[in-house]
Amino acid sequence: MKQVYGKIFSLIFLMAFVGCKKANNKNLIESTTQTLPNIVVIYADDLGFGDVSSYGSTALKTPNFDRIANEGIRFTNGYATSPTCTPSRYSLLSGTYPFRTKRAQVLPGNAPLLFELGKQTLPSMLQQAGYKTGVIGKWHLGLGDANMDWNKKIAPGPLEIGFDYAYIMASTNDRVPSVYVENHKVVGLTAEDPIYVSYQKNFEGEPTGRDNPEMLKVHPSHGHDMSIHNGISRIGYMKGGKSALFIDEDMNDDFLKESIKYINKNKNHPFFLFYALHQPHVPRVPHPRFVGASGLGPRGDVIVEADWAVGQFLDELDTLGLSENTIVIFSSDNGPVLDDGYKDDAVEKNGKHTPTGGLRGGKYSLFDAGTHVPFIIRWKGTIKPGVSDALVSQMDFTASFAALTGQDNTTPDSQNILDAFLGKSDKGRQGLILGQNNIMAYRQGDWVLIPPHKGRKMTNKWVNIETGRDSIYQLYNLKDDQAQQHNLAETHPEKLEALKQALELEKK
């Protein structure tokens, strides 16, 4: 009898112990997940260093981008890795310099996925750390394999490189197919009206901007004269899929709605959201409620529209009580351009506005305005608001957030500069390669080296931007010469040599 009581007693004790342990574990899990902040990267497309009022714009007001700056750290030396979209996005997500991958350059809308499967990415690293990971907005990183059928399962794509949710614009707003893809499927596509895409030739009987300008509400200034949809001709040919085609005017609301849905769905779990805005990339077609909002024509209006969306998104974080537990990053994939292929009055209505903020060059350029972009990080209650001059790059998110979340970084080029991102240190990167393929510049401290490059000095006869390419070495000191007017290569041979060597080392 005694023995039986003894057994019952030990059983009760054991159950209580296990129960207690379980509860403890639960607490532990809850407390660790709570200490892991959500991470949101809001990524504008072609927004210049001078397009944001907290970076000095007076003609264009961006109160909501500024709200992130006022409540966080505004970096004065923040960089995208390349002056165009695909390579910058690639390196942000892969922690890899674009020059290491030949295909990392502006991709056609039917290009296969750019990433090598199985390698660490920013989202796959965060998935390992226990995050839910989502991408909403512009993709432009290729999808599927060569000759992909858009009516079938679209893979590999974001879900195969570490995102567990994707609601993306397939390529860019000026490239076909003009559709959104949710996870593995084109949104809104029906079996009765399949979609076909070609970058070689038109489909018989389909109108083009070249032959049917009377069908257009926005006319091309160069290129962009192929398939027409929503009164706008694009790059590439497409046919069918009418029920799936996006409406440019609604795109801002579509991405905002999906982003808000995403954070609501994942609010009880650490999440990473890559919210990739399409503004102010061409075609610039704001919702009617923003037409005329800036006084600077469609380019200004779509920036005001994007700023509004960011404000709505920040309000939602507040409403959900997530602002203190969410790191919000705001930046851009490359520098600004006015006429980028449509007659949208960007040049005519620009007035006194300086999208470059006084830097030389712009989108496509090796000069500073190509890659030197707005770069702001907010973590309410943790980051002390201020301004930092540290040299920081978007490529460094992977290693830095790996350090924050207790993961290893296995990407080749991302560096842990978490302390700079959090404002604890004014030391960021030592050096940074800017560009793609063999077209590159190198920044170290205040110095910029641009090795000789063959090619045009201006982007082309339509885009009025200096490429930065020259047959000689260029060396600038941005501290004394922000506008890169004085080439010091001849007067500072030692510095030139030091940067040449540092660039070679960085390439390894």
Smallest separation, CB 45 to ligand NG6 (Å): 6
Residues in CB range of 284: below 8 A, 6 or more apart: 298, 299, 301, 302, 342, 344, 346
Q: Is 57 in the site for ligand NG6 (CB under 6 A)?
A: no
109 vs 286, which CB is nearer to ligand NG6? 109
Residue choice 235, 338, 373, 441 for contact with ligand NG6 (CB under 6 A) = 235
Q: Provide the minimum distance between the beta carbon of 371 and Ca ion in the complex, in angstroms, as a whole number.
A: 11
Check residue 340 for interaction with Ca ion (CB under 5 A).
no
Indicate which of ligand NG6, Ca ion, none lies near residue 340 (CB less than 5 to 8 Å, by partner kind): ligand NG6
Contacting residue, 61, 185, 222, 261, with ligand NG6 by CB under 6 A: 222
Q: Of 334, 354, 393, 474, which one interacts with Ca ion (CB under 5 A)? A: 334
Residue bearing tokens 């350059």: 105
281 near ligand NG6 (CB under 6 A)? yes
| Interface positions, 82-141, toward Ca ion (CB under 5 A) | 85
What is the distance between the alpha carbons of residues 343 and 224, in angstroms, rounded to a whole number? 11
Choice between 106 and 418, CB closer to Ca ion? 106
d(CA 358, CA 248): 31
Task: Report DSSP letters for 227-258, one per residue.
Answer: BEETTEE-BSEEEE-GGGB--GGGHHHHHHHH
Taking CB within 5 to 8 Å according to partner kind, which of ligand NG6, Ca ion, none is near residue 339? none
Q: Which residues contact 482 (CB under 8 A, 6 or more apart)?
A: 358, 359, 368
Q: With respect to Ca ion, which residue has the nearer C-beta, 48 or 423?
A: 48
Which amino acid is residue 436, in one-letter code? Q
Nearer to Ca ion, 67 or 372 (CB): 372
Tell me whether residue 83 or residue 220 sits nearer to Ca ion (CB atom): 83
Q: Any contact of residue 258 with ligand NG6 (CB under 6 A)?
A: no
Q: Are 402 and 51 in contact (CB under 8 A)?
A: no
Contact 312, 363 (CB under 8 A): no
Q: What does the block give as tokens for 453?
A: 């490059």
Q: For ligand NG6, which is the closer residue by CB, 231 or 311?
A: 231
60 CB-side CA count, 13 A: 35
Site for ligand NG6 in 425-484 (CB under 6 A): none
Residue 122 binds which entry of ligand NG6, Ca ion, none, with Cβ cut-offs from 5 to 8 Å by kind? none
**Of the candidate residues 248, 316, 333, 466, the single one contacting Ca ion (CB under 5 A):** 333
Axis crossing angle, helix 298-319 with helix 251-265, rounded to the nearest 10: 20
Distances (CA, A) of 340 to 150, 292, 451: 28, 20, 26
Distances (CA, A) of 423 to 388, 420, 428, 433, 446: 7, 5, 10, 23, 19
Amino acid at 267: K
Find the binding residues for ligand NG6 in span 65-104 (CB under 6 A): 84-85
Sequence-separated (6 or more) residues with CB below 8 Å from residue 210: 225, 226, 233
| Token pair of 436 as six digits | 């793609």
Q: What is the C-alpha to C-alpha distance for residues 236 and 144, in angstroms, rounded to an integer?
A: 18
Q: Do residues 79 and 393 lie in contact, with contact meaning Cβ atoms separated by under 8 Å?
A: yes
Q: Which x/- pattern over 139-158 shows residues binding ligand NG6 (rule: CB under 6 A)?
A: -x------------------
66 lies in the site for Ca ion, by CB under 5 A? no
Using CB under 6 A as the binding criterion, the count of chain residues that bind ligand NG6 stands at 17
Minimum separation from the CB atom of position 492 to ligand NG6 (A): 33
What is the x/- site pattern for ligand NG6, positions 172-211, by CB under 6 A? Answer: x-x-------------------------------------
CB of 387 closer than 8 Å to CB of 426 = no
- What residue 106 binds from ligand NG6, Ca ion, none (CB within 5 to 8 A, per partner kind)? ligand NG6
- One of 258, 340, 396, 413 touching ligand NG6 (CB under 6 A): 340
Please, which of residues 32-61 interact with Ca ion by CB under 5 A? 45-46
Which residues of this protein are in contact with ligand NG6, per CB under 6 A? 45-46, 84-85, 106, 140, 172, 174, 222-224, 235, 281-282, 334, 340-341
Which residues of this protein are in contact with Ca ion, per CB under 5 A? 45-46, 85, 333-334
